[in-house]
Amino acid sequence: MLEVKDLHAFYGRAHILHGISLEVRAGEVVALLGRNGAGKSTAMKAIMGLVPPARGEVSFAGQRIERLPPYRIARLGLGYVPEERRIFTELSVMENLEVGRQAARAGVPLWTEDKLFALFPNLARMRERPGGRMSGGEQQMLT
């Protein structure tokens, strides 16, 4: 599903990623671990096209994506949720979810409220709560 081979990325002249490789199959969960500053976020940003890879290959669902713009990568179904909780603090949980809703697309599973709340049951109990009145962990779930 996602395959990364020998990915290198830079910030200016600083060589941050030195040949990272990984594979994630459909249904798998993979954790990227490392100390602060080790390049975990940069790896994710390079995979999503937010940081241009200097070299290496990124394939998603059999398609090479390392030179695609981020919006095209997202439209293929690959997402990135940064650690920063960028929610609308004045909007309720349901309103925040509505802002992020996308139209149904062929070949992409359709997310429903039932599926979402099965995955994050805590959110189901706070549908009308403003995002700004949630804990950090709850806000991350909402993100």
pLDDT tens for residues 99-140?
Answer: 877 778 787 777 888 988 998 898 999 999 998 898 888 888
> Which residues, in sequence order, are CB contacts of 61 under 8 Å at separation 6+?
1, 76, 77
Residue 82 lies in a domain: no
Determine the structural domain holding residue 18 and report its residue range: 2-75
Is residue 105 located within the same domain as residue 133?
yes
Residue 7 is inside which H or E element, if any?
strand 2-11
In this model, does residue 53 exceed pLDDT 90? yes
Residues 62, 104 within the same domain: no
What predicted TM-score, i.e. pTM, was given to this entire model?
0.64
Instruction: Please tell me the predicted confidence (pLDDT) of residue 98.
Output: 87
83 falls within a domain: no
CA distances 13 to 32, 73, 140, Å, are 24, 26, 32
DSSP state of 131: G
Residue 103 lies in a domain: yes
Sheet holding 2-11, edge to edge: 14-24, 2-11, 53-60, 63-64
Question: What pLDDT was estimated at residue 87?
Answer: 85
**Does residue 7 belong to any structural domain of this protein?**
yes
- % of the chain with per-residue pLDDT over 90: 45
